Structure 1
């Protein structure tokens, strides 16, 4: 059966699996953000992580709404991609002795996560529209907008302070 929890035979199966994938990813991201909040030294970075943790919790609730609309139980499907991104981030962060370098590493890790989420939400919105699920597309568009805004904020934070301090 491979990586997937159940066979993917139809486009609907693929759609549901990908929704389960991002649901799992968001849950793992809340754990990672909690860890990074505790390790961040830069106050602006810590604040950005705290804000996004709250957004992520709301994104999980929106995903649960999407599952309900589909008449499906909200459940995650293990996502090796997000697990790998988080594992790599933890390893790099644990290797950083200098707190300014660690902040830069956490910012980079957070952006890798954001980019993954942006691709997943973009795909799911497209597929929702293809399947005539504009109601679900609207829910997912809210999550995508938050992910893009967070990525932009992290870029600005990195370019204005974090990366300069680490260098």
Structure 2
């Protein structure tokens, strides 16, 4: 299936939009399962490393939940390229390769990760709303569970930045 970017996909109803959103989120989680361990390796702070590793596992479970949604809908679990996440991961790769103060680099990694979290919160919120509109309450509940996990991760990153990383970073 071609992505919306290709300009050939038709969105004729909310179900089309919802399925396209799920495919895009499947791509997001697929890419994050690969990117988060690399971010953990690049982080200097032990708690930040652990947070990235833990969220990689959470992303694996979220991807499994999305696969369940596809099964429930009798739709093939496939991705629709998410250009936004590709760009955010690319920005993170630049940070990971950068030289400089390790604490400053960790602060940059947290900021990049929070950008991803905020994007996921927006996209999962939209998907949950679409599922509710379509009367797919079980799927809406699963998407809400993921939305809650993304908010928890964002709060954890904020706490790490405020209590450990940012105060240690060279001014």
What TM-score does the superposition give when structure 1 sets the normalisation length? 0.94
Report the equivalent of 2:75.
72
Structure 1, residues 70-103: CA drift from partner, whole Å, max 9, x if none? 0111111000011111111212332342211111
Alignment partner of 1:3 out of 5, 15, 18? 5
Unmatched 5+ residue regions in structure 2? none
Native 8 Å contact 1:23 1:76 kept in 2: yes
User: How many Å apart are 1:12 and its aligned residue?
Assistant: 1.2
1:3 partner SS: helix
Native 8 Å contact 2:39 2:96 kept in 1: no
Alpha-carbon separation, structure 2, partners of 1:20 and 1:96: 36
Native 8 Å contact 2:65 2:142 kept in 1: yes
Alignment partner of 2:51 out of 48, 59, 80? 48
1:10-159 matches, within 5 Å, as 10-159=13-162
Unmatched 5+ residue regions in structure 1? none
Q: CA RMSD in A?
A: 1.4
Number of positions where the alignment pairs a residue of Structure 1 with one of Structure 2: 167
2:12 partner SS: coil
What TM-score does the superposition give when structure 2 sets the normalisation length? 0.92
